[in-house]
């Protein structure tokens, strides 16, 4: 008989039945250097059957102490943004690219993302959301498998493995650049529209546009890396944009 404890993570992950089991599987994780400096691993919070999943970057100081994502200043703004579309954090699910705080809130490193994101992918599989809202560069790049920045990608709707993906500025960006606050509230309004469409089962069409009043907003792309390059009204090609083929399918 196979000894499950000797199987690599990637083999055992697909057999995890629910979020509690996944959390237990991750355990007191020592798989990367962040274990040395974190206080608490921040697994995620919210409705395990949520239609809407938010993915942020990594826990900050407050999250590291409390063990819950988005409980600091950025979290208060996220709660306000959710409230603006009639939602409470208990009705969505909130997770991060990394489950442990990078020391001094430095950027996540590539090997940390590689080690930690199989657990995020598993959360996506288990929660099975209709819509994923990626908050900021790290979440957006991971989910869409692109090098493009959030400023270019926000305001568009993507589809990855049958899920709608809506890139949005990280709420912390509005704390440093107050001009982004209005954009964030606008994007949450658009997110509410995408949720409504998803619940109605409205198909994501390659050339769909939001209704009148949102003409500035989006085109819908089935292929994020190729679609972003070919979008109408975008003629400049960002150096380095696009995803290696093996990163395009994430979930």
Tell whether residue 153 is a contact of ligand URA (CB under 6 A). no
**Is residue 54 near ligand URA by the rule CB under 6 A?**
no
User: Residues 58, 113, 116, 157: which binds ligand URA (CB under 6 A)?
Assistant: 58
Least distance between ligand URA and beta carbon 74 (Å): 5
Contact between 56 and ligand URA (CB under 6 A)? yes
Q: Which of 44, 46, 59, 129: binder of ligand URA (CB under 6 A)? A: 59
Of 233, 223, 221, 154, whose CA–CA distance to 190 is shortest?
A: 154
- E strands, the chain, are 45-46, 52-56, 93-96, 131-135, 157-160, 163-168, 220-221
Q: Binding-site residue total for ligand URA (CB under 6 A)?
A: 11
Cα–Cα separations (whole angstroms), residue 219 to 17, 24, 250: 36, 40, 21
- β-sheet bridge partners, residue 45: 94
Least Å from the CB of residue 4 to ligand URA: 31
Shortest Cβ distance from residue 201 to ligand URA (Å)?
A: 31
Stretch in the footprint of ligand URA (CB under 6 A) among 25-33, 62-70, 118-126, 202-210: 62-70
CB of residue 208 to ligand URA, shortest distance in Å: 29
Residue 194 exposed, middle or buried by CB count within 10 Å (0-12, 13-18, 19+) = buried
C-alpha 156 chain-centroid distance: 14
Tell me if 96 contacts ligand URA by CB under 6 A.
Answer: yes
Using CB under 6 A as the binding rule, whether residue 167 contacts ligand URA is answered as: no
Q: How far is the CB of 57 from ligand URA (least distance, A)?
A: 3
Contact call for residue 108 and ligand URA (CB under 6 A): no
User: 3-state DSSP helix/strand/coil percent for the chain, to nearest 5?
Assistant: 45, 10, 45
Cα 100 from chain centre:
16
What's the CA gap between 124 and 19, in Å, rounded? Answer: 10
List the one residue out of 175, 69, 197, 86 whose CA is nearest residue 131. 197
Could you say whether residue 57 binds ligand URA (CB under 6 A)?
Answer: yes
Q: Is residue 63 a contact residue for ligand URA (CB under 6 A)?
A: yes
Q: Is 46 in the site for ligand URA (CB under 6 A)?
A: no
Stretch that binds ligand URA, among 69-77, 187-195, 223-231, 234-242 (CB under 6 A): 69-77
> From the CA atom positions of the chain, what is the Rg in Å?
18
**Binding residues for ligand URA, per CB under 6 A?**
56-60, 63, 69-70, 74, 96, 172
């Amino acid at each position: 008989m196979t000894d499950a404890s000797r199987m690599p993570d990637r083999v055992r992950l697909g057999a995890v039945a629910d979020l509690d089991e996944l959390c237990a599987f991750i355990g007191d994780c020592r798989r990367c250097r962040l274990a040395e400096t974190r206080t608490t691993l921040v697994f995620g919070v919210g409705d395990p059957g949520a239609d809407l999943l938010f993915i942020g970057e990594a826990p900050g100081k407050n999250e590291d102490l409390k063990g819950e994502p988005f409980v600091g200043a950025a979290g208060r703004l996220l709660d306000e943004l959710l409230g603006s579309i009639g939602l409470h954090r208990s009705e969505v699910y909130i997770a991060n690219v990394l489950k442990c705080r990078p020391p001094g809130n430095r950027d996540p490193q590539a090997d940390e993302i590689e080690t930690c994101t199989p657990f995020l992918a598993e959360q996506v599989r288990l929660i099975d959301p209709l819509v994923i809202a990626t908050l900021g560069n790290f979440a957006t790049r991971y989910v869409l498998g692109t090098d493009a920045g959030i400023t270019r990608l926000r305001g568009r709707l993507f589809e990855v493995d049958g899920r709608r993906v809506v890139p949005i500025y990280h709420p912390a960006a509005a704390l440093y650049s107050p001009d982004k606050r209005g954009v964030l509230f606008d994007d949450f309004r658009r997110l509410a529209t995408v949720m409504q469409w998803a619940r109605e089962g409205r198909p994501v069409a390659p050339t769909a546009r939001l209704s009148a009043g949102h003409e500035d907003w989006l085109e819908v792309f089935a292929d994020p890396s190729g679609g972003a390059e070919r979008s109408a009204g975008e003629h400049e090609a960002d150096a380095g944009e696009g995803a290696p083929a093996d990163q395009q399918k994430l979930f």
